[in-house]
Structure 1
Amino acid sequence: MKIKPLVSFLAAAFAAPAVLASPSGVVISQLYGGGGNVFASDYVELHNAGSAPVNLSGWSIQYASATGNGNFANNGITTLTGTLQPGQFYLVQLKTSTNGTALPAPDVLGSTSTDWSATNGKVILAKTTSGLACNGGSNICTAAQLAQIEDLVGYGNANFFEGAAAPAVSGSTALFRTASGCTDSNNNANDFTTGTPAPRNSSSPFVSCGGGGGGGSNAAIVPSCPDVSAVAGTASSFTVSATDADSRVTAASVIGSLPNGVVLGSFSAASVAGSAATQQFDLSNSLAAGSYTLGLKWDNNDAQTASCSFKLSVAGLTPIPAIQGRGSRSPIEGQTVTTSGVVTKLVNNGFYLQDPVGDGDPTTSDAIFVFTSTAPAVALGQKIRLSGTVTEYNTGAAGNADTAAHTVTQLTSPSGITVLGSGFSVTPVEVDLATLPADGLEAYEGMVVTLRGPLTAQQNYFLGRYGQVTLAAGGRVYTPTNVLRPGPDALALKADNLRRSILLDDGSSAQNPNPAPYIGADNTLRAGDTIGSITGVIDYGLATSSNTGLAMYKIQPLDVAGVSFDRTNPRVATPQVSGGNVRIASANVLNFFTSFTDGGFVAGSAGCSLGGATSTSNCRGADNLTEFNRQIAKTVAELSALNADVVGLMEIQNNGDTTVGYLVNQLNAAMGSGTYAVVPKPAQGTGSDAIRVAMIYKPGKLTLNGASLSDPDAINNRPPLAQGFTLPNGEKFAVVVNHFKSKGSCPSGASDPDADDGLQGCWNARRVDQANRLKSFLGTVKSTAGTDNVVLLGDFNAYAKEDPIDALTSDGGIVDMVAAFDPLDYSYVFDGASGRLDHGFATAALAPKVVYATSWHINADEPSFIDYNTEFKVFGGSTTGSPDFWTPTPYRASDHDPMVMGLSLLKTISAAAGSPVVGTPGDDVIESGVGAKVITGGGGRDQFVYASMLSAGDVITDFKPGIDTLVLTRLLASLGITSADPLASGHVTCSTSAAGAVINIDADGRSGPMRPRPLLQLRNVACAAVTASSFKF
């Protein structure tokens, strides 16, 4: 239309914003705000629809949101330069993304500070470089501001436009001024249409409009044929287009020939002048990788022609095995590749993709993890093609040697995900961890495998927190220094442990899963439980909560809910021990504090002492009364079931006898008044640490022998506690409770003798010094207690073959009694390996009298999240977290198993003929000599020993069936009696007399001719009460 001065419409401008045709003829001919989709950048295209050159210096492009309150001046201003000839185009590149095709060379790089809407907005071509402080909607432009607007395009739901708004666009469409930029009817709705983005720059063919922007004649055909990319082996298609401002483009034909695998597809002629004609190209899956130049000729209904050429780049697929390579890192790390495979497993931040055929090379993995950062938009069983950047991901800290050496090969920034089909699967590869070489799982990274079983659960500490369990082939994994002295052999075992181990994960990086995976009967999964086999994908990552800690290969099951363990290591309700007349135990009570971290307390006062300073931050146990009530219920259940005569306690609050006294009161409430008493605090003190060792005992069975002792030497941060005891039979023994320096909190200097040596942990030299000091202290204990019978127990923070234990036992004066009964016993599980930190030693004098020594496996094998703590659990109104499986049972009362030891401290009495023989109030062994005697055993559990019939005629006045025992082993042997059951065979019989039961010996049994001979009489005892339990044969 005829160009009119904008200022003549001032009156209308305020009533209904109006901007008329461009006075200069320069118009906005194309807009695209979908950068990152078809093209990488947003852009504005200008066109000189006039008949004279126009100098753009001092002009600018400005943007405002469709309906917002922001002005044009609030957004980035793009200033223009240069002179635009009649019919020439001008391309302004704006904000750029990493995705999409690059624009043709722009004539100016515009502002990147504004995110243009891909659908709705307002754009002006302004004859000023100053931002206009209006937006035409909520802030109406003044006449002076309108006079600065050379052209305006409002699109979508914009509230400022010429006539009516142009249509909305999208990430895949651009806004085109019709007639190749020549139409300017003063109405955006009429002048613009949408289509595939086709940016033109100053080098593009000129399109003359024949005058001042109101239309033109004999305009040229303008092709749009951008370069195209495709992937070999995959059928696809693409489209190019052409327009003519005053004619219809009606045909297209190939210039030259097409490569094999490329054919012309459907053609769509332009419907009206100025609209686009399109030509489709179809690519078959036989098209070879390479670069091809294609040419196309266009015809219109004015007998005009135009041509275009463009490049078709066909990339070859990179097979997944070629991406993985044979080493731990990809040989093409950092490159962007296109590959395909079957989706085998989804996780919350990506998915696993596997080549279902593979390359036949057992040293290269056929699968890879695709990192999407958010929930993936693919489905299991889909066969897909995608592009991504090959990346090596370190799952730990930068300084973590394990994770740095075992980076996970991934595809990141995935794009172009194309579904090629569905319903596919891959066949799992069977893998045997028992025979796989070190790092052998690298060749299966990301692949679906079936691990051959049985596999044994090792560490379940992180089961509730992260859904992880450590497994191993070949049975339980033992801490190397629990079975071998530190050195090359132990290091080799450490490596072999890792070789045959794997971490069972739950396929999610979410914390505190609910429901908790892999839980079985009694809401537990115990270390030592087994599974026959498991199918999943191989991964690698941290096995602890520390990003500098242990890392290992993982398996992510295809079906987490279907993983079920066999309870091959069942719970045992009480220690399975018998014999002896004294039971001694040690128990780490897991920071048992009666003062809480929240400032509350049930005994003592608020705050806890450490190094002489008192603060709630020094309290290490329960956070509050609720947690404490749960803790003490488990602790009382544990100690009640141990039912020991003496118990050494570790990790109890160091506040005199206050906390240990509270514990004893709770025990007595459960077991009966007076069952236990506290060994008093020693005069030498209990150290300055926040925790101490303590001791409790049964006063109804034992008497304290001398004062309690401790060793305040500076080497002992938690001084040992010793106490002597006397049995009713007069036998004596002493107990020393210990808690050596822990393996954690390493000193800072690498050359420090207490630094981590790779096997024995930190502070090993300190623990050796503590062991040597303990041996010196032992002399004081013996002299004070008046006995060489000493038990040393507690948490020594050293495994069975480490230097501190060797220092204690190497000279033979102290004997490792637990090892004597079971060298593979354990009390603690750390980093998936079982070992014994909690020991039971005896002096050489006492060792022959120890009848059992073992750990009761109620804690170390149990998952930590069944303990008393309430954090990270669904508890107290919290609706998130792992399930709360706490019960008032002994299981997971602590993280260490208790140790229990039995002593046989019997009083031996020789009974000769003549005067009556009387035993002690305690447990006696009364050996009957020649001749008849009257014997009174006294209290306790007595044993009456007979070696020959020369002792016949004895009368036992107080035999207690079921408690006392007749020991006839040597007597029967002297007569040649070898029957497995002398009662059944009639070699030993019972007959009734007026005074009580008479025990008879028949040398040839019930079937022989010899008559039974009386051995002894049990006064006031009936034969019916004399059962097999009354004898030892």
Structure 2
Amino acid sequence: MKRHNLALALSALFASSAAHADIIISEYIEGSSNNKAVEFFNAGSTEINLSTYVLEVYSNGDTEAGNTVALEGTLPPNGIFVVAHPQASGEIKALANKTGNLFYNGNDALVLKNGDTVVDSMGQVGVAEYWASEGVEMAEQSLRRKASITSGDTNPDDVYQPHVEFDAFPRDNIDDLGSHLGHGGVEAPEPEPAPDFGACGDPATLISAVQGAGLSSPIIDSEIVIEAIVTADHQTGLEVLKGFFLQEEDADHDGDASTSEGIFVYHTDTDVQVGDKVRIAGLVAEYYDLTQLKNITNITVCGTGQTVTPATFSLPVSSMNDFEAVEGMLVQFDHAVEVNDTEKLAQYGEFGIVKERLYTPTQVAAPGELEEADVKLHTLWVDDARSITNAEDVPFPAGGLSALNSLRLGTEITNPVGVVHYSFDKYRLLPTADLQYVDTNPRMDTPDFVDQGDLRVASFNVENLFNGDGQGGGFPTERGANTPEEYERQLSKIVAALDAMNADIIGLNEVENDGFDEHSTIAQLVEALNAVSDSEWAFVSFGDASYIGTDAITNAMIYRTDRVAETGTAVFTTDVPFDYGSRPPIAQTFHDLANEDEVTVVVNHFRSKGGCKNDAAEGDKDSGDGQGCWNATRVSAAEKLLEWLGGDLTGRAVDDVLIIGDFNAYGMEDPLQVFVDAGMTDLQMAMLGADNLTYMYRGLAGSLDHAFASPSLSEKVVDVVNWAINADEPAALDYNMEYKSDFLIANYFNADPFRSSDHDPVVVAIATVEGDTGDNDGGDPDVDDGGSTPPGGNETPNLDHATTSGSFPIWLGLGALVLGLVRRRA
């Protein structure tokens, strides 16, 4: 409960004798379109000076206010003050004392403060929830404070139930707006008269005074005259901003680093040029949190060819106020930046830049030891300054985005310069000079090995490869391609990646779980690969098994028959926790035909990090330590996998074991430590360091795809490569055709490895040791009678849940002992 019943009873008892002098939120309107208003009521017995009061809006679970509204004037006892959205209906604005930044929805918390003291609140700061209880909702309702409530809710962090203090009325109901408990409002402050326009050089309002030191202007709705220099012109063109940017002359800066010297002017009727000195009269407004000048009543050009000095800027910032302090200004970075987010590059013409790449905390530190970087504080968004979607001429990188002209994450940009703009909840850099790109993360056509060894084993998540019914129909599929044409595009990119990977054995994740016959996805993938490869490829099949588990996707293995042969019996297990969520792991033993050295390869795909609900077990709920949902299930999967590997599960007594796949866990997380504690080597950590990556998520890098080697195999590993063909590439360069014109469908696609998936492959190079497996080059009479049968793999029966233990590996036994002695993290 928001308040205890006793507190409510006492509040009602002493309502008539309240003697404090403070105000409460007495009405809240979250109506259609921009019909939003907040009413404040002086429930005390003394007059209140509102100049120190501010309403803060915390959007979408943020812990820092995104919008603020400063109250003004004085409020007598029982007095009312109403703030309305600037674009609210005329009926609402007629009842308002002022308009302000009321950009909220039913999941945004409101906090009323007097200075730093919380006076009242609605919602819960730090939580993104559409607050509702017993029919009273903050979304799309008008709420009025109960008569019994005469003091504010001063704890904005506790669980919020609106019905405790508010009554609900239909959306857009404003019958009581401007009155509370029978009391009426106060006169709105008289607007300041519009200033005389004057002549060039006459006194004018400084832009710093318009911008103020907060997130919104302190003089909203004021008529002013300013005189400053045009730094960027966006008046004409396709879907442009329809205005220009002004900045104060260097000599007129106020010397306060917290106040911006620049502003956007919404005006196209008078043509201006960069370098013009302009005197202009208009109305100060906030447009979705952007301070601007609009409704221009007079404008004259006072001079041309003028310049201003760009403000020096750097990332990261300490708070969002540091961005606000340069809103509208021309800035130049004092350091190079890196491209860090291109997810919306093709859609909106924007990409994120940071000082250096950001990593998921649990990739580089133990869970809970390192707080996640606030990506917002590290990122500024370079924008093409157009309100156009899926443009055919995205200008980034130089020459325009295309399949053959990518903008890769990690690309360096040397000290960019531009104006800082705010729109769609992001601070943006609109370049005023050509960006200087440095290709510090170039594409590699093949994995960049230092030593290729004799045998290479890879892990590759192919991002939902589904082939419909395998005969040209069955689209759209449950996952993956929506049409046969999309499937052919997806297949061609994956085949290109597999062919160029220079691997001999490849473990695959997210292949359609549709069996092994000629119409199956895995069979057609191998067929397509053989059509372009100089080698002959086969896939591992599982005897009589039609499917591997019950998930729509499965793990798979393919291999080059001229380099390796299957020597064991391919197996998988569906024991808990591999019965649901975590896809069944698969295993097979191979030997290389040159040296007859054997290795058992185990392919995995653990349960993902999302989707835990209230019914998840305690260890599977998101604990907030950075590991996400279902962590206990992933730990259990790792432990069960080691137990399963304790016997000669493929029928071969082999010490060299390689565990690969998508573990849905970053480098330092608990499930991976299970393998390390058992004596296995995390090959990427050992050879590439913690700052390696195969995946990007919301601007944070890390590896979900891993390779672990048993002690004997670790001594033979000579190199590991995360082949950066996917995570660093713009998503628009994949196979999908949605939201693309015919031109973009062609321009963004090439049948190459780049953006063939969303995960990067991991490739392990092994120096094999000459030996004799005694298996007659792949036809081990102790295991199978027919040997390898390309391209369909072997046809030996599946030994699901194999538990043979005749040659229990010594390394695993010792590892299990250590595992039992080490107390695992919960």
Q: Same fold (TM over 0.5)?
A: yes
Residues 583 and 646, structure 1, Cα contact 8 Å, conserved in 2: yes
1:723 and 2:588 aligned = yes
Which of the residues 641, 646, 652 maps onto 1:779?
646
Q: CA deviation at 1:773?
A: 2.8
Structure 2 counterpart of 1:642: 501
Secondary structure of the residue aligned to 1:845 is helix
- The reply on whether 1:606 has 2:474 as its aligned counterpart is yes
Secondary structure of 2:413's aligned partner: strand
**C-alpha distance in 2 between matches for 1:425 and 1:679:** 73
Query: 2:435 — aligned with what?
Result: 563
Q: How far off its partner does 1:756 sit?
A: 7.0
Distance of aligned partners of 1:329 and 1:693 in 2 relative to their CA distance in 1, 3 Å threshold: same
Give, in angstroms, the shift of residue 801 of structure 1: 1.4
Q: Distance in 2 between matches of 1:702 and 1:853?
A: 20
Residue 518 of structure 1 is matched in structure 2 by 396
Cα deviation code 1:231-266 (max 9, x no counterpart)? 24624xxxxxxxxxxxxxxxxxxxxxxxxxxxxxxx
- Alpha-carbon contact 1:387-1:415 (below 8 Å) kept: yes
Shift of residue 683, structure 1, vs aligned partner: 4.1
Contact 1:738 1:796 in 2 (8 A): yes
Counterpart for residue 388 of structure 1:
283
1:513–1:882 contact (8 Å) kept in structure 2: no
Q: Which residue of 560, 565, 573 maps to 1:711?
A: 573
Q: Give the Å deviation of 1:570.
A: 1.6
3-state DSSP class of the match of 1:652? strand
The Cα shift of 1:487 comes to 2.3
The letter for the 2-side match of 1:606 is G
* CA displacement, residues 677-698 of structure 1 (integer Å, 9 cap, x when unaligned): 3343784952322221111112
Match 1:328 to one of 215, 218, 224: 215
**Distance across 1 between alignment mates of 2:713 and 2:490:** 35
1:234 aligns with 2:198: yes
Counterpart residue identity of residue 558, structure 1: T
1:355 alignment partner in structure 2: 248
CA contact 1:232–1:285 (8 Å) conserved in 2 = no
Alignment of 1:290-309 (within 5 A): none
- Whether the 8 Å CA contact 2:230–2:244 is kept in 1: the answer is yes
Q: What's the offset of the Cα at 1:700?
A: 3.0
2:258 aligned partner, one-letter code: T
SS in 1 for 2:415: strand
Structure 2 contact 512–553 (Cα < 8 Å) conserved = yes
Which SS does the other structure have where 1:647 is aligned? strand
> How far apart are 1:426 and its partner, in Å?
4.3
2:453 is matched by which residue type in structure 1? G
How much identity, in percent, do the aligned residues show? 34
Task: Output the amino acid matched with 2:441.
Answer: N
Distance change (3 Å), C-alpha of 1:758 and 1:331: farther
Quick one: distance in 2 between partners of 1:650 and 1:558? 45
Paired AA for residue 609 in structure 2: K
Correspondent of 1:457 among 331, 334, 339 = 339
Are the counterparts in 2 of residues 734 and 781 from structure 1 also a CA contact under 8 Å?
A: no
Q: Which amino acid aligns with 1:702?
A: V
Deviation per CA, 1:337-378: give whole Å up to 9, x if none. Answer: 554433433243544332233322122111233457xx7765
- 1:448 pairs with 321, 330, 351, which one? 330
Contact kept in structure 2, 1:581 and 1:902, CA below 8 Å: yes
Question: Partner amino acid for 1:231?
Answer: P
1:853 to 720, 726, 742: 720
What is aligned with 2:363? 482
Q: How does 1:575-614 map to 2 (within 5 A)?
A: 575-577=447-449, 578-595=451-468, 601-603=469-471, 606=474
Q: Which residue of 1 aligns with 2:683?
A: 817
Q: Residue 424 of structure 1: CA displacement?
A: 5.5
Match of 1:902, as an amino acid?
Answer: A
Q: 349, 369, 375: which one pairs with 2:264?
A: 369
Q: Deviations over 1:811-842 (max 9, x none)?
A: 14222101111112211122223211111111
Q: Deviations over 1:746-771 (max 9, x none)?
A: 53689964337273333334333333
> What is the distance in 1 between the residues matched to 2:432 and 2:623?
39
Partner of 1:1022: none
The AA in structure 2 aligned to 1:342 is I
What pairs up with 1:660-671 in 2 under 5 angstroms?
660-671=522-533
**Distance of 1:417 and 1:590 partners within structure 2:** 57
CA displacement, residues 253-294 of structure 1 (integer Å, 9 cap, x when unaligned): xxxxxxxxxxxxxxxxxxxxxxxxxxxxxxx986x9xxxxxx
Q: How does 1:529-544 map to 2 (within 5 A)?
A: 529-540=411-422
Cα distance 1:386–1:705, how it changes in 2: closer, same or farther (>3 A)?
A: farther
How many angstroms apart in 2 are the aligned matches of 1:531 and 1:632?
34
Residue 655 of structure 1, aligned match among 514, 525, 534: 514
Partner residue of 2:116? none
Change (3 A) 1:706 1:908: closer
Q: How many residues align?
A: 566
Query: For residues 775 and 549 of structure 2, what CA distance do their matches in structure 1 show?
Result: 40
Partner of 2:539: 677
Matches within 5 A, 1:254-273: none
The code of the aligned residue for 2:552 comes to A
Q: Measure how far apart 1:604 and its partner are.
A: 8.2
- The Cα shift of 1:788 comes to 2.6
Matches within 5 A, 1:430-449: 430-433=311-314, 437-439=318-320, 440-449=322-331
| Partners of 2:567 and 2:775 within 8 A in 1 | no
SS of alignment partner, residue 231 of structure 1: coil
Q: Contact 2:564–2:592 (CA<8 Å) still a contact in 1?
A: yes
Q: Taking structure 1 as reference, are residues 646 and 340 closer, same or farther at Cα in structure 2, changes over 3 Å only?
A: same
Higher strand fraction: Structure 1 or Structure 2?
1
> Deviation of residue 605 (structure 1)?
5.8
SS at match of 2:464: strand
Of residues 744, 750, 766, the one that matches 2:610 is 744
The offset of 1:322, in angstroms, is 1.5
- Cα gap change, 1:421 to 1:620, in 2 (>3 Å): farther
The answer (yes or no) to whether the contact 2:411–2:439 under 8 Å persists in 1 is yes
Contact 2:460–2:761 (CA under 8 A) maintained in structure 1: yes
The runs of 5 or more residues in structure 2 that have no matched partner are: 1-88, 95-190, 235-239, 779-826
- The 1:575/1:447 distance shift into structure 2, 3 A limit, reads same
Q: Kindly indicate whether structure 1 or structure 2 has the higher relative contact order, using CA contacts under 8 Å at least 6 residues apart.
A: 2
Question: Could you tell me how far apart the structure 2 residues matched to 1:908 and 1:673 are?
Answer: 24
Secondary structure class of the residue paired with 2:323: helix
Residue matched to 1:702: 564
* Separation in 2, partners of 1:682, 1:527: 45
Number of the residue aligned with 2:601? 735
> For the structure 1 residues 631 and 761, does the alpha-carbon distance in structure 2 shift closer, same or farther, using more than 3 Å as the test?
same
Aligned residue in 1 for 2:383: 505
CA distance, structure 2, for counterparts of residue 761 and residue 370 of structure 1: 44
User: Which residue identity is paired with 2:207?
Assistant: I
Deviation track 1:397-449 (CA, whole Å, cap 9, x = no partner) reads xxxxxxxxxxx442375342523435354424243425754443332122110
Cα 1:624/1:431, change in 2 over 3 Å: same
Say yes or no: does 1:554 pair with 2:434: no
Aligned to 2:813: none
Are the counterparts in 1 of residues 316 and 379 from structure 2 also a CA contact under 8 Å? no
Q: Is the 8 A contact 1:448 1:538 kept in 2?
A: yes
TM-score by length of 2: 0.62
Rate the CA distance shift 1:332–1:710 in 2: closer, same or farther, 3 A.
Answer: farther
Give yes or no for contact 1:449–1:535 (8 Å, CA) kept in 2: yes
User: Which stretches in structure 1 are left out of the alignment for 5+ residues?
Assistant: 1-96, 103-226, 236-283, 289-316, 394-407, 543-550, 596-600, 608-615, 910-917, 924-1033
Structure 1 pair 891/354, CA: closer, same or farther in 2 (3 Å)? Answer: same
Q: Indicate the SS of the match to 1:676.
A: strand
Look up the equivalent residue of 1:723 and give its one-letter code: Q
Closer, same or farther: CA 623–819 of 1 in aligned 2, 3 Å: same
The Cα offsets for residues 201-244 of structure 1, whole Å up to 9 and x where unpaired, read as: xxxxxxxxxxxxxxxxxxxxxxxxxx996524624xxxxxxxxx
Shift of the 904–371 alpha-carbon distance from structure 1 to 2, 3 Å rule, reads same
Does 2:801 align with 1:801? no
Moved more, 743-752 or 696-705: 743-752
Q: Could you tell me whether the CA contact under 8 Å between 1:725 and 1:734 is conserved in 2?
A: yes
Contact 2:572 2:584 in 1 (8 A): yes
Q: Is the 8 A contact 2:657 2:710 kept in 1?
A: yes
Tell me, yes or no, if the aligned pair for 1:587 and 1:648 is still in contact at 8 Å.
yes
* Equivalent position SS for 2:488: helix
Scaled by the length of structure 1, the TM-score of the pair is 0.51
Q: Indicate if the aligned counterparts of 2:556 and 2:586 stay in contact, CA closer than 8 A.
A: yes
Cα distance in 2, alignment partners of residues 417 and 774 from structure 1? 75
